[in-house]
Structure 1
Amino acid sequence: MPNFQELGLNPRLIEAVEALGFKDPMPVQAEVIPSLIEQPSDLVGLAQTGTGKTAAFGLPVLHHINPELQKTQALVLCPTRELCLQISKDLRSYARFIPGVKVSAVYGGASIELQIKQLNEGPQIIVATPGRLNDMIRRKKVDFSRVQWLVLDEADEMLDMGFQEEVDTILEHTPEEKHTLLFSATMPEEVERILAKYMTNPVVKTVGKRNTGTANVKHIYYLVQAKDRYAALKRIADFNPRIYAIIFCRTRIETQEIADSLIRDGYNADSLHGDLSQAARDNVMNRFRNQTLQMLVATDVAARGLDVNDLTHVINYNLPDDSEVYIHRSGRTGRADKTGTCISIINLKEKFKIRQIEKKINREFGKAKIPTGVQVCEKQLFHHIDRMENVAIDVEIESFLPVIYRKLEWMDREEIIKRFVSLEFNRFLEYYRDARDLNVEDDNKPLREPREGRDRKSERRSDDGQFTRLFVSIGRKDKVLPPQIIGLINEVTRSREIKIGRIDIMDNYSFVDVDSKSVGRIMKAFENETSNPRGIRVERASEREFAPADRKRRSNPGKEKSFRPEGKSFRSENKSFRSEGKPFRNKPEQDSPWKKPERKGGPGKNKKNK
């Protein structure tokens, strides 16, 4: 493999790369950089997360930039503000020895006036999120007439998250003669079909196998009852004292609830999701990068752009519906030739998803047992002793030793050891005394996967085809009627062609029958924080247990609001519906699905990050 000096880069870029401590290019960089320098063209770069894609497109783009021309010559689009900030920071680092090169970051959640001021200074490179950049276009604050390079980073997510219209608008304002580069960790088939719209005869550079997880990651799953998911998470954390992990949840509400529970139980954790202000997000990410936090509970969208190389674990509190999302999650550990572990906490109904992911990544999952209380205590004890053996002794402590010796002279060696261990260890012994087994046993027989990954218990027949019943977390108390729910689905999915059947509205939530072929699309759309900013939850109805009060209400259909449009397709003239002039509210359910931990507090209580 060539070194950076042999790639043909500008000497000043090589100087910057060496100053950053880079010695040899990573595989994707060695493949892409010479190609773009020798013969610039449209290019698709496929490589796993953490393999150096930013330098792969950033260095050749900077190589071709004219520092004397104070016009935008390169535009980088990415799906989230975190990734936008990370890319702009990296590009500035690469250009540190090239006078006159300016990089401007344009993203939502920050002062637009300050960003307009930076754009007026004539940056040669703009790194932007689609929404805020379209705002700048409408305000006529950007000039793309001299753009020669367009980079779509994390393009699969950007297009899949509903940014296609915004990207189309931006492309309409860029010159036809330009080089378009697309970089991504995964490339699902539906995105490949879209490439023809943006690129002309692109060169494809693939590093590693497509749509597979990194070879440095061990994939395991734990099988538990759904109600024991949080207790299992705590036990996994306690069994790995040096854990440094991202815990992925489906929604912002779930993310905040899990983080709050971990913090309450004394763990070094915090949350990262779309409801946080930019200042709060920056604070959380800085603490996590500095390893002040051991566990970060995040949504997939919010974690985009979080560049951390030393993660020991990725934990799927809930498995994603899309195997591509799992691949991207797992790729956040095992970076830079280090090993990592991707853990999934599942129940029996979700086991078929493991089989689907195994086929996708061509790797076999290991089934692990949730540690017993005795095993956790033993692991923590050895960790405590290891810390004692490896602690650095400050010479200043010598002056205090005579007093310490006199204070402890009445105890023999065994007594001192017992008291030393008990001081740190008693809380684990107390918490895990008589701890129950959280593992669920199965017959280990291969599960027959539901057709197209569906849960057949939630399907029902209709004269017009097959329907699946979905749970929606709004109800009577949110003052919604069937037309509003139909409008909500139309708005979030950006489609008015989805067939909708029976609608039952309860006090705090509703049940909706939808065309089974559209279930995956609907659930994915509602998991997207951009298209579903109110955080309304949608789940398969069979995955929820009715509370006794709910069953009682359902036994008396006269008190339910029920609507049966007989499987017809509904179109709404408005994109969204409002009831009595008020927007939908996502109120908590009366019977929350989150169970309290086995005991109040936990072994992590007052645990410090040593």
Structure 2
Amino acid sequence: MSTFSELGIKEGFVKGLNELNIFNPTEIQQKAIPELLKADNDFVGQAQTGTGKTAAFGLPMLHLVNPKRREVQGLILAPTRELCQQIAKQLFKFTKYSDKIFVEAVYGGAPIADQIKRLERPTHIIVATPGRLIDLMSKGAISLTDVQYVALDEADEMLSMGFKDDIVKILDEIRASRNIWLFSATMPEGIKQIIKKFLRPDALRIQISRNAGVNENITHEFLICNSKDKVQELMHFLSYHKDERGMIFCQTKRAAQTLNKQLQARNLSVDVIEGDMGQRDRDKVMRMFKSEKLDLLIATDIAARGIDVKGLNFVLHYQLPQQAEYYTHRSGRTGRAGEKGASVLFISEKEREKVFELAKTLKFKVKPLN
């Protein structure tokens, strides 16, 4: 096991990492960081959510930008505002004991005028959703002329959300002599097309095994119940975990909204976050959940990208995830920073085989809930 210092990370950044209780590099960090620090090639990293990708591309980018220059030198594209906020926040924390590197997050759903005002200050790295970045470029608020390092985080998710044309337009704007670092859980045809069009043919490729994203501190259990009994079974589970906090995942916005109303009607401390909500409402719910004024948060997979809340005891899968990597992302909301957590699936008898297939694919052990 290498240390961050052995990977080439400067002492100031290591000190910042240690203060965040990050001491040992993950597999993707060990393989990516030394290569990205060379800044002499493009990079493709196939890795699930929860494997430590932010530090894998974030630390090299912080090393490579020149804090003495005012221009934007680094660009990170991510699918959702929550993920943009989380990445920017992490990079800010990494730099606590190093030269001041200014990172700005820009995303849709927030007033564009405020973001334009903030971008008038020196900015070294921009973290952006593709749509908002295009808007800011069209208004002349952002110049990508001096960008040398580009990271695409959760590239497959950006494509599934319809951002392919925006990504192509953005990469077309960036000069040819730059490094592109692409991270994706899966490699659909659209991603392969972007790699072929924009990355060098000899781009370094690294794939991290799926089980690298499944946290060993989490127990995985399932409960078989009929759909008509699901809410009652959920209430039964929650009655045994009264003083604990957790997240409940649904597949669709409608299911999440319906379940939220059902649980609020039973006087539970719960709210929902889903894609159709305005930014102000989302922020309000997240503030209440993080400040522990809410015990439970119901979420859809896309809306929950980038949510990082300490001390969650459990994750409940009210509906099965549509993709295997969504399960890794969902379950990874608990069992963080060395704490124990539980991931519980509420399923029908017909879905039992799907659960065992999921466990086999992601290499974790699952058992019936006691």
Q: Same fold (TM over 0.5)?
A: yes
Match of residue 273 from structure 1: 274
Q: Tell me the distance in 2 between the aligned counterparts of 1:103 and 1:212.
A: 27
Contact persistence 1:243–1:294 (CA under 8 A) = yes
Q: Tell me the distance in 2 between the aligned counterparts of 1:5 and 1:354.
A: 40
- Pair 227,190 (structure 1): closer, same or farther in 2 beyond 3 Å: farther
Match of residue 569 from structure 1: none
The 5 Å alignment of 1:142-161 reads: 142-161=142-161
Q: Tell me the distance in 2 between the aligned counterparts of 1:332 and 1:198.
A: 33
Q: Secondary structure at the match of 1:141?
A: coil
Q: Tell me the distance in 1 between the aligned counterparts of 2:325 and 2:190.
A: 12
For residue 339 of structure 1, what is the amino acid of its counterpart? Answer: K
Pair 1:313 & 2:321 matched:
no
Pair 1:358 & 2:363 matched:
no
Q: For 1:242-264, what per-residue CA distance to the aligned partner results, in whole angstroms no more than 9, with x for missing partners?
A: 43221111222221221222222
Match of residue 89 from structure 1: 89
Q: Tell me the distance in 1 between the aligned counterparts of 2:244 and 2:256.
A: 19
Pair 1:164 & 2:164 matched:
yes
For residue 90 of structure 1, what is the amino acid of its counterpart? Answer: Q
For residue 304 of structure 1, what is the amino acid of its counterpart? Answer: R
Deviation (angstroms), 1:205 = 3.6
Pair 1:335 & 2:336 matched:
yes
Match of residue 475 from structure 1: none
Q: Tell me the distance in 2 between the aligned counterparts of 1:20 and 1:344.
A: 31
Match of residue 180 from structure 2: 180
For residue 62 of structure 1, what is the amino acid of its counterpart? Answer: L
Match of residue 112 from structure 2: 112
Pair 1:368 & 2:369 matched:
yes
Q: Secondary structure at the match of 2:231?
A: helix
Deviation (angstroms), 1:233 = 1.0
Pair 1:245 & 2:258 matched:
no
Q: Tell me the distance in 2 between the aligned counterparts of 1:19 and 1:345.
A: 37
Match of residue 67 from structure 2: 67
Q: Secondary structure at the match of 1:281?
A: helix
What residue ranges of structure 1 are gaps of 5+ in the alignment? 370-610
For residue 287 of structure 2, what is the amino acid of its counterpart? Answer: N
Q: Tell me the distance in 2 between the aligned counterparts of 1:364 and 1:10.
A: 38
Larger RCO (CA under 8 A, 6+ residues apart): 2
Deviation (angstroms), 1:112 = 0.7
Match of residue 298 from structure 1: 299
Deviation (angstroms), 1:90 = 1.5
Q: Tell me the distance in 1 between the aligned counterparts of 2:198 and 2:360.
A: 30
For residue 167 of structure 2, what is the amino acid of its counterpart? Answer: V
Deviation (angstroms), 1:345 = 1.2
Q: Secondary structure at the match of 2:271?
A: strand
Q: Tell me the distance in 2 between the aligned counterparts of 1:136 and 1:342.
A: 40
Q: Tell me the distance in 2 between the aligned counterparts of 1:12 and 1:66.
A: 15
Q: Tell me the distance in 1 between the aligned counterparts of 2:51 and 2:322.
A: 25
Match of residue 445 from structure 1: none
Q: Which moved more, 1:344-353 or 1:153-162?
A: 344-353
Contact persistence 1:48–1:213 (CA under 8 A) = no
Deviation (angstroms), 1:151 = 0.6
Contact persistence 1:50–1:336 (CA under 8 A) = no
Deviation (angstroms), 1:116 = 1.0
For residue 120 of structure 1, what is the amino acid of its counterpart? Answer: E
Deviation (angstroms), 1:97 = 4.2
Match of residue 78 from structure 2: 78
Q: For 1:460-488, what per-residue CA distance to the aligned partner results, in whole angstroms no more than 9, with x for missing partners?
A: xxxxxxxxxxxxxxxxxxxxxxxxxxxxx
Contact persistence 1:51–1:336 (CA under 8 A) = no
Deviation (angstroms), 1:123 = 1.1
Count residues in correspondence.
368
Deviation (angstroms), 1:206 = 4.0
For residue 136 of structure 2, what is the amino acid of its counterpart? Answer: M
Q: Tell me the distance in 2 between the aligned counterparts of 1:358 and 1:66.
A: 45
What residue ranges of structure 2 are gaps of 5+ in the alignment? none
Q: Secondary structure at the match of 2:115?
A: helix
Contact persistence 1:78–1:154 (CA under 8 A) = yes
TM-score w.r.t. length of structure 2? 0.89
- Pair 179,210 (structure 1): closer, same or farther in 2 beyond 3 Å: farther
- Pair 213,245 (structure 1): closer, same or farther in 2 beyond 3 Å: same
Q: Tell me the distance in 1 between the aligned counterparts of 2:310 and 2:204.
A: 29
Q: Secondary structure at the match of 2:109?
A: coil
For residue 180 of structure 1, what is the amino acid of its counterpart? Answer: I
For residue 192 of structure 2, what is the amino acid of its counterpart? Answer: R
| Cα RMSD, aligned residues only | 2.5
Deviation (angstroms), 1:108 = 1.0
For residue 95 of structure 1, what is the amino acid of its counterpart? Answer: T
Q: Tell me the distance in 1 between the aligned counterparts of 2:301 and 2:163.
A: 16
Q: Tell me the distance in 2 between the aligned counterparts of 1:190 and 1:6.
A: 36
Q: Tell me the distance in 1 between the aligned counterparts of 2:156 and 2:218.
A: 22
Q: Tell me the distance in 2 between the aligned counterparts of 1:178 and 1:242.
A: 51
Match of residue 135 from structure 2: 135
Q: For 1:500-556, what per-residue CA distance to the aligned partner results, in whole angstroms no more than 9, with x for missing partners?
A: xxxxxxxxxxxxxxxxxxxxxxxxxxxxxxxxxxxxxxxxxxxxxxxxxxxxxxxxx
The 5 Å alignment of 1:387-426 reads: none
Contact persistence 1:51–1:335 (CA under 8 A) = no
Q: Secondary structure at the match of 1:282?
A: helix
Percent identity of equivalent pairs: 38
Contact persistence 1:119–1:141 (CA under 8 A) = yes
TM-score w.r.t. length of structure 1? 0.56
Deviation (angstroms), 1:148 = 0.7
